[in-house]
Each structure stands twice: as structure tokens, then as C-alpha cells.
Structure 1
Amino acid sequence: LAYNHDEWVLKDISFKIKPGEKIALVGHTGSGKTSIVNLILGMYPYQKGRILIDGKELKNYGLKDIRSNVGIVQQDV
């Protein structure tokens, strides 16, 4: 993910989540946690690489299907 074409915000990210597994994205402010969630939820188009769910590209799923299976608890600042 790049907000401008010169500087990548997310690079070389890779992780797997098993069916039914609950995860937490933890990191410093500006480390890309919200950007990762927004990519998975289809809020941003991804420019390079792939996002796979059950071995299929995210683009092959309806946004409603993806979003109905994700829960988010954000920290209040």
C-alpha cells in the first residue's frame, strides 16, 4: 500500500489466520495496523501483491461477505 507512488506504507507483509482464530494487530502508532484492516475490508484497493481468503483472491468475494465475518475493537485514545 502506498499513499503516494514513491513511499510504500506496507511492504513485505505476510500472515495466515486459521479458520475461527481470533487475532490482534498490535504496534506503534503509524505502523500500519489500521491500513491492514482497511485492506482486508476492501476499504482501500491493494496495488501490489495478493490478499487471499481460503486460497481465493479477496477480489473474488463480495464486500458484504467479508465485512460480515470481521469484528473490530478499536482502542479509544
Structure 2
Amino acid sequence: ECGRRFRSTWDLLTHVRTHSGEKPFTCPDCGKSFTMNSTLTRHRRLHTGERPHVCGDCGKSFSRKSRLAQHQNLH
């Protein structure tokens, strides 16, 4: 136990996995495992080529919302 406190049970569970090494979400394409399903979803976009975040100004698309935000700062 590291003494950290969390507001939600989910945040605690996710943090505990950093100590236990548990990675219950596995990519069916390459076998890489992750602590959170959302991270697996983001990873799978590498295999599928999915780019759901689209710039409203120029139409360029990105696999990560954070990359879209960085791009939009250029406009």
C-alpha cells in the first residue's frame, strides 16, 4: 500500500493495478495487455487505422483527442 487516496473506487482499482502488474485488457491483434480498457481501445486504433477525431477547420483526422487539440492550436 502506497498511501495514496482516491475519490472513486474505479480510480483506486486502476491505481492498484500499477502495483500488482495486472493488465486484464489484451489486444486480440498483437497480444499487448493494458490496465484499462480505454487504453486498449486507443491502442487498437493503431491496428484499425481508425481516426475518429476530426478537425472542423481543415478535416484532418486523428486517433487521439489530445492530438486533435494540439493540431487545432495551429489554426
More helix by share: 2
Structure of greater Rg: 2
Structure of higher RCO (CA pairs closer than 8 Å, 6+ residues apart)? 1
**TM bucket, shorter chain:** under 0.3
TM-score, length-normalised on structure 2?
Answer: 0.24
TM-score, length-normalised on structure 1?
Answer: 0.24
More strand by share: 2
